[in-house]
Amino acid sequence: MYRITILYPHEEGKRFDLDYYVQKHMPLVKSLLGPFGLKSAEVAEGLPRNGAAPPFVVMASMTFDAIEDFQRGMAQHGREINADLPNYTDLKPTVQISRIR
């Protein structure tokens, strides 16, 4: 099984609309990647610790049985998914692909 993690770093003065992300963007991702084997998707909000901002404001993760399923889904729908980015943030996300052991 594979996990795709999308990390949105905390950057002072940058915007992230968590409500939009949870209510609009993630349902879009689920509807487009579901037919390609998306098993689960979740969103985690970073919280301050000891008065300091979290390193990441949001971390989202998706799981697939095979990395090829994710790649096929993104080949077909990646442009549409990525085009939604300006609707909720001006941060540049980092994507981590991991094998779950």
Domains of the chain: 2-99 (3.30.70.100)
Nearest Cα residue to 61 out of 88, 28, 97, 9: 97
* C-beta of residue 21 within 8 angstroms of C-beta of residue 30: no
pLDDT at 25: 98
The pLDDT tens digits for 68-97 are 999 999 999 999 999 999 999 999 999 999
List 94's β-bridge partners, or say none: 7
The pLDDT tens digits for 24-54 are 999 999 999 999 999 999 999 999 999 899 9
pLDDT at 22: 98
pLDDT at 8: 98
What pTM, to 2 d.p., does this model score?
0.92
